[in-house]
A and B are shown apart, each in its own frame.
Chain A
Amino acid sequence: MTVPALGKAVSIRSLDKSYGATKALNGVSLEIAAGEFCTLLGASGSGKTTLLKTIAGFENYDTGAILIGGTDIGPVPVSKRNIGMVFQNYALFPHMSVRRNVAFGLEMRRLTKAEITSRVEEALALVDLTAYAERLPRQLSGGQQQRVALARALVIKPDILLMDEPLGALDKNLRQSIQLELKRLHAAVGATVVYVTHDQEEALFLSDRIALMDKGRIVQAASPRDLYDRPANRFVAGFLGECNFIPTPTGTVAVRPEKLRVGSQANDCNQVFEARLLSVIFIGRGYRLILELEGIEITVLTETSDEIAALRTNGLVRMGFRKEDIIATE
């Protein structure tokens, strides 16, 4: 492979940054292991892009520290940080061919011509663009431009690879195929990746670890599985996947729609309620039921069954869940 087997570890320590009265980053701390694929997930304005740009050095921070491979990079200018960056709109140099784009970072590092040529060839082969080397960016499709941006960032053997919503501008099918490609590349290259997205499915699919951000803070950082099954609080449970908040005698509990059971299936549940059925919607692989319990709307996802198909709206149905399916309690 062209790129070193391992990137460097990143350590972010109580980072603060304000724009006037608003705190863009509020005591952000995060440890990212070498070779880890870490995603910053959050809504727009949550601070995820600010954090990424701060790691890259495009933005300043007020207090705290960022360490890459154990070295504080605060005083290091962007151009000396050895960071690969893939931008949302790719930011390819429009006046340079694909080859010139990929070679740019190597030229800045004053490598010999021969070495530049061979490394550019390798990088282009890695993203399968050898045939397009002489084209200008505007002559490429969105997916191809994306791959050029990736090759350009990887060819310099960066300590870490930063990606800012790199799939945001692509349509859904292309996005899924590039996600696969990214996962393959990351497995092959083993670089440390910090990836920003607002798309939870993308985050679940790609990441070793997800840091969920809100209002300039990291709310929870964990593996996708832990984040989904053991959310730290109601915000995380609600942000990642759908979640019902069901009132019980012992307090409100959070249960995923696919864990709720209806009708005869509710028999072996620990807690069972009688809820009013508002609507039954066929969604192909099953049904989506909307129930009402004590004035609260509850969503249930079930598999297709005759029993469900026979349910009548506005009637009462039995609904329940098992104790182990409760993901959070307040």
Chain B
Amino acid sequence: MTMIARHAEPGRRAAWHGFPVWLGLLPFALVLAILFAVPVFSLLRLAFGEGGFTLAHFQRMVDVPVYRSVLGTTLGIAALVTLLAVLASYPLAYVMATVGPRMRSLLLLLVLLPFWTSALVRTTAWIILLQSNGVVNKLLMGSGLTSSPIAFIYNLSGVLIGMTHVLMPFIVLPLYAAFRNLELSTVQAAESLGAGPLTIFARIILPLTAPGVVAGSMIVFMNAIGFYLTPALMGGPGQTMIAQMIASNINTDLNWPFAAALATVLLVATISMLVLFQRFFGLERLIESGGGKAGEPFTVTSRGRSPGGWATVAAAGLVAAFLIAPIIIVFPMSLGSSPFLSFPPESYSLTWYANFFSTSKWVAALTRSLQIAGVVVVSSVVLGTLAALGVSRMRPRWRAAVETIFILPMIVPVIILAVGLYYLLAPTGLVGSIWGVALGHVVLATPYVFITVRAALKSFDGNLELAALGLGASWPTMFRRVMLPGIAPGIAAGAIFAFITSFDDVVIALFLTNIRSRTLPKLMYEGVAHEIDPTIIAASCLIILVTILVLGANLLVSKRT
């Protein structure tokens, strides 16, 4: 803080040769203006009429029953997913907080691995598991529990399963933090005053973990209303959500103004949630964990668990299995040799991997995805690091506002950015090359770098900077030799998130690539939407492996420092 205060003193400034705030903020601000604000606003403008001002498109949304019901479905599904995610998160977070450190790390891995695995891969895995001749149905019929296959997907249950799986970590993680912040003695005090397990849950644990749950729920709801991939692949016509309606208005009906009106509604809903969130919790909550407390955290003492506690453990086991099952099951399936999907496979081979690497469309798509990810990582690391440096040095007064603007691309539904960029870039010819989609990914990925580097800078001791400058180093030398090594883990983490963001994206690629420039996830999406052939499963496993590798690398980097 003193560092910043000194910075604001004009007299000192000349002698300081510090890093100018504008140089940090400007590059990303320009990128956001040109590639985020312009496309989004020009799309939204369409909603209010191309000639004169009109609200006719919004009127139509209310008047036509189909559209009314899509809005209702969107809100309903988002609410149901939020509720399911909360219900599933409680037992898991409780168990994570009350087991030994090893088991806790394992459970954390079970939550984080799906969290960082491509949503498309997870959706694909669920379809393989749940389709009418899929793994689950075969097990159920084989055991005689049902005689005919149960329809798990292409209906509401499919959408709920897929979306809850994708979004649950947003509640598990803050809830786990809330449990860890709960003090053992608080619970014991209630017990000594005569409260039984149910009363303790209702009157102590529930109110004390509620803020974490509400914060997580708002993030889940905010994400859920803009979901495209999962409802499109796992739902039926009755589960059409607003993002699909936007896409179909553009792709099939070519009704841009109406798509823009739908996008406006989605954007307003999302931003309202964001404002609410910031009002109640502050955006820091997205980044930081709770403050440390002196007391011993909530755990199970030598008396062991109550019967209710054991029931909760069992429930948590089911939830953990639900989280990890799709990721576990695709691996053996990818090693099968028959062209028909079966689990477990009758014989093992690398046929489908060989097929993947010998088919030119797969290899070309993989190469393109890696090229794009490379461009995106380099650009977003530079932009995000500069932006974080700039924000850390600016006056506190405007800092919160700038921070909010810089993370907006994470919050605004991707479909809106994708359609907006499509509208903006279609005339330029960038859509057919890797550059269009790369530009979109840079907008999406830079906020991750910004957040991780910002966090690293917050924990970087400002006195080190003053000490180096005081010893005669110029600012660039100080940055290279003192600050950069200090914040390198943050930059590395940001680079990894940027890579995953780009490498996993489907929605931007759907709109900004064509048959000659499609990425690996887009090619997979096309396959999943029509018919899943085993090469797609091999591709899914490759993506999971890449994710594990990249996350493992991050773990190594952060352990070393």
Contacts and interface: CB of A to CB of B under 8 A. Distances in A.
Contacts of B303: 57-60
A239 interface: no
B204 A78 contact: no
Interface stretch (A36-44, A102-110, A248-256, A316-324): A102-110
Among all A-B residue pairs, the 9 with the closest Cβ atoms: A108-B194, A105-B193, A91-B185, A91-B189, A85-B192, A87-B185, A78-B191, A95-B207, A89-B295
Interface string A63-92: 000000000000000111111110111011
Contact of B194 (A80, A92, A94): A80
Interface residues of A, number: 31
Name, among B185, B192, B301, B302, the residue most crowded by chain A CB atoms within 10 Å (CB to CB): B192
A79 to B, nearest CB: 5
Nearest to B195: A108
B208 interface: yes
A93 B189 contact: yes
A108 B199 CA distance: 9
Name, among A80, A84, A89, the residue most crowded by chain B CB atoms within 10 Å (CB to CB): A89
Nearest to A110: B194
B472 interface: no
A156 B193 contact: yes
B194 A91 contact: no
B208 A88 contact: no
A84 B192 contact: yes
Interface string B363-393: 0000000000000000000000000000000
A193 interface: no
Contacts of A123: none
Contacts of B302: 19, 59-60
Interface of B: 183, 185-186, 188-196, 199, 203-204, 207-208, 294-295, 301-304
Contacts of A99: none
A83 B185 CA distance: 15
Contact of A89 (B194, B196, B294): B294
Contact of B190 (A19, A83, A104): A104
Contacts of A109: 194
B213 to A, nearest CB: 14
B193 A91 contact: no
A56 interface: yes
Nearest to B196: A79
A152 interface: yes
B165 to A, nearest CB: 32
6 contacts: A57-B192, A79-B193, A91-B295, A92-B189, A93-B186, A108-B194
Contacts of A105: 193-194
A149 B18 CA distance: 52
B193 A152 contact: yes
Contact of B208 (A57, A83, A94): A94
